[in-house]
Amino acid sequence: MQSEIEDQIRSAIDVIKSGGTIVYPTETVYGLGADAFSEEAVRKVYELKKRGLSQPISLAVSSFEMLQTVAYVDSKTLEILTELLPGPITVLLKKRDIVPDVLTAGSDVVGVRFPDNEIALSIIQETGPITSTSANVSGQNPPARVEEVEIDADYIINGGRCKYSMPSTVVAMTSVTANEIEIEIKRKGACYDRVLHVLRSKVVGKGIHRLSVPELRGERDR
């Protein structure tokens, strides 16, 4: 079984490196992956999902070092992130120029996932950042099992049922000054209670200017 998964991982890496698309497991739901730095590959993801180009897509990394190559992260923000990641959270951060505008719909903010899933991490370690969006047509339910995937990607990895089987919690982190951070929870998802506990524990004495928890609505795409 292990050798079968390893073969699938190698095949997925080859597909990504050749500009193709894959469906891969994470701890939240199955994701639709492509080279996040390739505009052509990212556009394939939009087409497969039937997603409008005005709606940004997140990317996934496999380390904090890789995260800092795609987004600006100060020391205080990094300290918080190390308590949350890897895990079922999408963090909205100011993007670096290396991230193509098509991925962020022209915004200067990029959503970043650092998944807690060995298959996903093994792929990303070899390919670099890949797109991180649920492997469903926009508006449809995100798949928690490979049998639920209806996207016609170039390659699909069967990694079993996803651990949480629900989309990630989305958190926006903005540096207000060199010493202050604004944090807003944008979407309630997997491990929301833990995320909220960690963030609240950081409010006092850690330079958090504001922690905002608006009225939360469920969303289908992670």
For the chain, domain boundaries = 2-174
* pLDDT score at 78: 93
Question: Average pLDDT of 209-213?
Answer: 78
Question: Average pLDDT of 165-181?
Answer: 86
Question: Average pLDDT of 156-160?
Answer: 97
* pLDDT score at 125: 98
* pLDDT score at 10: 98
In this model, does residue 218 exceed pLDDT 50?
Answer: no
Place of tokens 């205080």: 76
Record the tokens describing residue 126, joined without a space: 């070899």
Q: Which residue has the higher pLDDT, 215 or 43?
A: 43
* pLDDT score at 126: 98
CA atoms within 13 A on the CB side of 93: 23
**% of the chain residues with pLDDT over 90:** 83
* pLDDT score at 42: 98
Looking at every residue in the chain, the average pLDDT score rounds to 92
Residue length of the chain: 222
In this model, does residue 217 exceed pLDDT 60?
Answer: no
Q: Model-level pTM? A: 0.93
Sign (positive or negative) of CA dihedral 114, 115, 118, 122: negative
What's the CATH fold of domain 2-174?
DHBP synthase (3.90.870)
58/145 Cα distance (integer angstroms): 21
* pLDDT score at 202: 79
Q: Is 163 exposed, middle or buried (0-12, 13-18, 19+ CB in 10 A)?
A: middle
* pLDDT score at 204: 61
Give pLDDT tens digits for 104-152.
Answer: 999 999 999 999 999 999 999 999 999 999 999 999 999 999 999 999 9
In this model, does residue 219 exceed pLDDT 60?
Answer: no
Count CB atoms within 10 A of the CB of residue 63: 14
In this model, does residue 41 exceed pLDDT 50?
Answer: yes
